[in-house]
Amino acid sequence: MGRDGTEPVAHAGHGFAVRRRLPMRSASWRAACAATALAFALTATPHAAADGVDGDSFAITDATVFDGRQLLPQRTVLVRDGRIAAIGDRLDPGDLPVIDGTGATLLPGFIDGHTHTRSASELQEALAFGTTTVLDMGTRPEYLRELAAAAATRVDLADFRSPSLIATAPQGHGAQYDLDAPITSAADAGKFVAERAAEGATYIKVVLNGVRHIRFQTPRLDAAIVGALVTASHAKRMPVYLHAENEDDFLLGMAAGVDGFAHHWRDAGERPALAERLARSGIFVVPTLTAPDRLNDGQLELLRDDRINSRLSTAAKARLAERNPVFTTVSMDVSCGAVTSLRDAGVLIAAGSDAGSPGIVHGASMHRTLTLLVRCGLSEVEALRSATADAATAFGLADRGRIAPGLRADMQLVRGDPTRLISDSRNLLKVWRAGIETPIDP
Ligand SMILES: [Zn+2]
């Protein structure tokens, strides 16, 4: 099958070449990262109702469980009141309703680490495709207010967080989507952060522009302003995520002390030295491989997969066909090479789709994201971690991302085993948000 297919890409040359090396992430690094993330998690939850889990009680028996980190064969999972109560191989479901998981894999709901979300129907479609948490990376404040309120009360929507408007230079990247709140002076950083917090933001998004695949050059924030935004955000215990697309952006972001990178360097392929420096910094990256992919019409593969196509809304099909004329085509191989470096260096990678951008959709494009991560050298397990446990660590979401006692029962059941064949993630049988099953057919 060709580059657009969904067969296991272990057969592709790229996959084999990079899998020989194991990540070098140390236990102490992981612990430090988790501690930082947890500190944010304790303060960065604006809508307690969404986390006041009050879901159903049931048992899933004889399922293979991918718990967010590893594969556990033939397990029973007990869910009580929307939380995972127990997981084991000889558990008695008692009087709980039982779902037979034979032949299926139970895994945590996906966390999409990069979207631009404008409507409840997008959150609904995300959830119906197995994404239980949607992390927006720039939207209008009126959408943030409406969607945060909706997600806190409607169980048919994915959970939702957003930074509201994006900090960018006047007429910088983001302005073309009307998502910008321009900032011209480091002295205005405190005001910028206070305004976003008042709008309901739980983190801050900053756009650096050095975007070479855009047909025109837009202004770029300077290091002093980015540094001031980080200081002001951290004073409110809000993390800062930086839109970065080239090596200079990454160096500036590391120096400024940002908490995560949105996108990855797409102008240069493998850069082991940069990746190793990034790994030492402990800053995570959300490589939005779908962004270059859609410029090469890769997203259209979703329309050819009946498991996806048959369940896509009309609006999503229209969005997949959208094109943005300001972008030039970028090489998928170059983009992939950057992700290979990140993976080999042991950088914490969180999956993100950039859904809501032209040509990319909520929910379905997360499955395409996983396909692309595997194509770029992550193992199937690593790709699934990036959409579950590693995403939760990166974004400080301590209550989800794994199937473990005490956590929210944000889960999905799929036929087959996506740890062997990543496209099995598309064989959705059931999705639960906080233990409440959501309809998956339109
Ligand atoms: Zn974006």
Q: Residue 41: is its pLDDT beyond 50?
A: no
pLDDT reported for residue 383: 98
Q: Residue 25: is its pLDDT beyond 90?
A: no
Distance 115 CA to ligand 1 centre (A): 6
Distance 357 CA to ligand 1 centre (A): 7
pLDDT reported for residue 306: 97
pLDDT reported for residue 326: 66
What percent of the chain is modeled with pLDDT above 90?
74
For residues 335 and 353, give the distance between their C-alpha atoms in angstroms, rounded to a whole number.
14
Residues 274-319: pLDDT tens digits?
999 999 999 999 999 999 899 888 999 999 999 999 999 999 999 9
Residue 50 neighbours by CB distance under 10 Å: 23
pLDDT reported for residue 52: 55
Distance 291 CA to ligand 1 centre (A): 8
Distance 110 CA to ligand 1 centre (A): 18
13-17, 25-29, 106-110, 389-393, range with the lowest pLDDT: 13-17
Residues 112-155: pLDDT tens digits?
999 999 999 999 999 999 999 999 999 999 999 999 999 999 99
Radius of gyration of the chain (CA): 20
38 pLDDT band (50/70/90 cuts)? very low
Distance 104 CA to ligand 1 centre (A): 33
Distance 76 CA to ligand 1 centre (A): 38
Distance 355 CA to ligand 1 centre (A): 8
Distance 64 CA to ligand 1 centre (A): 34
Distance 165 CA to ligand 1 centre (A): 12
Write down all domains in the chain, each with its CATH number in brackets. Answer: 9-46+110-164+199-203+259-399 (3.20.20)
Rank 101-110, 202-211, 293-302 by mean pLDDT and report only the highest: 101-110
Q: Residue 72: is its pLDDT beyond 60?
A: yes
pLDDT reported for residue 219: 79
pLDDT reported for residue 53: 62
SS in 3 state form for 299-328? HHHHHHCHHHHCCCCHHHHHHHCCCCCCEC
Distance 304 CA to ligand 1 centre (A): 25
pTM here is 0.88
Residues 349-377: pLDDT tens digits?
999 999 999 999 999 999 999 999 999 99
**DSSP conformational letter for 329:** P
Q: Are 352 and 288 in contact, with CB atoms under 8 Å apart?
A: yes
**Mean pLDDT score, 30-59:** 50
Distance 114 CA to ligand 1 centre (A): 6
Burial (CB count <10 Å: 0-12, 13-18, 19+), residue 154 = middle
16 pLDDT band (50/70/90 cuts)? very low
Q: Are 141 and 199 in contact, with CB atoms under 8 Å apart?
A: yes
For residues 218 and 245, give the distance between their C-alpha atoms in angstroms, rounded to a whole number.
13
Distance 144 CA to ligand 1 centre (A): 15
pLDDT reported for residue 125: 98
Distance 63 CA to ligand 1 centre (A): 36
The edge-to-edge listing of strands for the beta sheet with 110-115 is 110-115, 131-136, 159-161
171 pLDDT band (50/70/90 cuts)? confident
Q: Are 66 and 103 in contact, with CB atoms under 8 Å apart?
A: no
214 pLDDT band (50/70/90 cuts)? low
6 pLDDT band (50/70/90 cuts)? very low
pLDDT reported for residue 330: 78
23-27, 96-100, 242-246, 248-252, range with the lowest pLDDT: 23-27
Q: Residue 97: is its pLDDT beyond 50?
A: yes
Burial (CB count <10 Å: 0-12, 13-18, 19+), residue 287 = buried
Distance 117 CA to ligand 1 centre (A): 10
Distance 433 CA to ligand 1 centre (A): 25
Greater model confidence, 45 or 262:
262
Which residues fall inside 5 Å of ion ligand 1, going by CB?
137, 354
